[in-house]
Amino acid sequence: MPLFPAFLNLTNRLVVVVGGGTVAQSKIPALLDAGAHVRVVAPQINPQLAEWARHLRVEWLPKLFAADDLSSAFLVIAATALPAVNEHVYRAAERHILCNAPDDIDHCNFYYGSVVQRGDLQIAISTNGKSPALAQRIRKELELAYADQYGEWLDWLGAVREVLRADPCDPELRKELLHELASQESFERYRRSRERREVA
């Protein structure tokens, strides 16, 4: 079934991660970067997760998972090495909470995309769970195609857009200019100008 692509605002939302190992660890940084409140539920956690808990980057509940651990949660990640536990998490969540179980597509209703990030520019790749390896390959190709400067350029484009929106010019002219500014040629001019400033 085709997936609906979406970018979620997780700022101050509760995301529960069930599991205390490397799979759970790998899923948490993106959640923290998105401003989520991360709660880890696991009897034991690895040293990295323990360090995050000590520094209050994540909340740790040292216990076995129970359905009421999902109270007020927006998302849940079932990241244990035990299929039965992951299924239990999915069943507890399926009526009202989005659930991801890494490498277990039968117990997912959303997937982590393979993401290229350049500042506020995000490009997410999905294969509908069929080939994470292909998504990773495409991500590497896109990382080469879209230089780090794209993030800074996007900030500039955003500032210019706000200036133009405040200008009472013809809407069609404004739209045409914004598309021209977002062109590859415009980026190349921006990049060359930036390089000249750095040399100077």
Please write the tens of the pLDDT for every residue from 113-170. Answer: 788 999 999 998 988 778 888 989 999 999 999 988 999 999 999 999 999 888 887 8
Q: State yes or no: pLDDT of 1 exceeds 70.
A: no
Distances (CA, A) of 57 to 16, 20, 127: 13, 15, 31
Report the pLDDT averaged over residues 15-34: 94
Q: DSSP secondary-structure letter at 10?
A: -
101 touches 107 (CB < 8 A): yes
**Measured between alpha carbons, how far is residue 131 from residues 27, 55, 77, 99 in Å?**
18, 36, 20, 19
Which pLDDT score is estimated for 36? 96
Q: In angstroms, rounded to a whole number, what is the distance separating the alpha carbons of residues 133 and 95? A: 30
Q: What is the structure's pLDDT at 63?
A: 96
Mean predicted confidence (pLDDT) in 28-43: 95
Lowest mean pLDDT among 36-45, 98-107, 150-159: 98-107
* Beta-carbon count within 10 A of 128 CB: 11
